[in-house]
Amino acid sequence: MKNNFIILTDTRQQKEKHILKEFDSQGILHIRTGLPSADYMALRYDDKKGFYLDYRVLIDTKKDIEEIAGNLCNSQSHERIKREIFKGQELGAKEFIFLINGGKVKTIQDLQNWTSKRTKVKGSTLLKIMCTMRERYGVRFIICNKKDIGKKILELLGGKNER
């Protein structure tokens, strides 16, 4: 199964050693290339199709809550994020997932009480925007510990079990 699965990482994505280390430890080949949408997706091999880009699941990682807050609560960044989601959907994405290093925030609901000295954005505002985006555009927001992000990417892209 592992031979039928390669992870593609967008060249605009900063190299996150902890994620690449997880891919390596699982024996998953990963290639940096320009992606039209998101940071991670799968390249698969099928005996009938050969190699094909699997756009079903697209993953965009965020280094922390402040980054996603800046992306969603700034009108210019928000429009850029929406364009990226729409591009992914045009390509056939069934799931567009934002995978966020939450730090002390463990769940999406924990955002209700989140604050930061680095931004004026309140957690309750960010949570409302995320819920609206989930309803309107069908995107998912997943909070994860930094050390588990590589494993979560593999799980979401089907690197453990073929979909």
- pLDDT of res. 2: 46
In the three-class reduction of DSSP (H, G, I as helix; E, B as strand; rest coil), residue 18 is classed as: helix
| 8 Å CB contact between 10 and 35 | yes
pLDDT tens track for 43-80: 998 889 899 999 999 999 999 999 999 999 999 999 99
For the chain, give the mean pLDDT.
Answer: 92
Separation of alpha carbons 43 and 109, rounded Å:
33
Q: What is the pLDDT of residue 4?
A: 79
- Asked if 61 and 16 touch (Cβ cutoff 8 Å), the reply is yes
Query: Among 138, 152, 160, 147, which residue's Cα sits nearest to residue 40?
Result: 152
